[in-house]
Amino acid sequence: MGEKDRARFFRAERHDALEGLTAAFRKHRYEPHSHDTYVVGIIVDGCEAYTLRGERHYAAAGNLCFVNPGEVHDGEPAGHVFAYRITYPSVALLRSIAAEITGREPAGAPYFPKATASDDEAAMLFLRCHLQLETAPSTLAADEALVSVYALLLRRHAILDHVPAALAAHGRAVTKVMEFLQSSIDRDPDLASIADVAGLSRHHLIRLFKRETGLTPHAFLMDCRVRAARTLLARGDAPADVALACGFFDQSHLNRCFKARVGVAPGAFRRA
């Protein structure tokens, strides 16, 4: 694998703009972040260490990995290196496959209760599927491989129709703040204004928001900016324009924050 980090993004547009990543990391460490998609992948060499739902997990070669939308996680080599192949399926894509499995439209969305799984058959099929998607995504063979392996993973490792519990009062306050920050990516709101949105003191807001989301309000805002940047870069916008539109100080600031959460630089992501 060489002595340097390497990573390559690709997209399979016909599968609800499915994104994929092939990477080997020796030095790169992911900042805590989340996705509005699922993360489904396999470790192909070494071991990755990451924190998810407040627990430290270790995924070794051959292990499948799952992260649900909105779950904060990080990632780094547990040792000298880890290499993996990852996909980022949308909620709509996995809900549609779950509906095909059950024969009905689910009220909720699939949910993976475990962060890792050892499943040799599914791992082999996922690896083959990922290779097909990376080299020839717009083919019938790739279509069949993707639907088949996602269906297998959902049947074996997911709750197919998960409906989240109703939010408590503090959960509604956190949701208000999340929505406010999502609409504020091009600004730098002060903490007092954010606390007013929640109806909480500044100190209480920081503690509660971190407890409920895994991120401080500032870290969540940076996460929102990177998500927005992904969308703009994917449609072909120039990184300098994206930096300005998404509230980064400059393109260098975008580069640092983007790579720390996505694994590749904005220019490489845009080219994909």
Q: Print burial letters for 161-181: b (CB count within 10 Å at least 16), e (below 16).
A: bbeeeeeeeeeebbeebbebb
Closest to 41 measured CA to CA, from 14, 16, 59, 17:
59
Each residue of 186-215: pLDDT tens digit? 999 999 999 999 998 999 999 999 988 999
Number of Cβ within 10 Å of residue 217's Cβ equals 23
pTM over 0.75: yes
For the chain, the domains span 6-162, 169-271
Higher pLDDT residue, 107 or 118? 118
Give the span between the Cα atoms of 98 and 159, in whole angstroms: 10
Residue 107 pLDDT exceeds 90 = no
Q: Does domain 6-162 have CATH number 2.60.120.280?
A: yes
Look over the chain and give the mean of its residue pLDDT values, rounded to a whole number: 93
Cross-strand partners of 50 = 57
Each residue of 127-169: pLDDT tens digit? 999 999 999 888 899 899 999 999 999 999 999 988 776 556 6
Residue 1: what pLDDT? 47
Q: Does domain 169-271 have CATH number 1.10.10.60?
A: yes
Give the span between the Cα atoms of 84 and 38, in whole angstroms: 16
Number of Cβ within 10 Å of residue 103's Cβ equals 6
Give the span between the Cα atoms of 47 and 14, in whole angstroms: 32
Closest to 142 measured CA to CA, from 32, 231, 12:
12
| Contact of 269 with 237, CB cutoff 8 Å | no
For residue 200, the one-letter residue type is L
Give the span between the Cα atoms of 133 and 65, in whole angstroms: 18
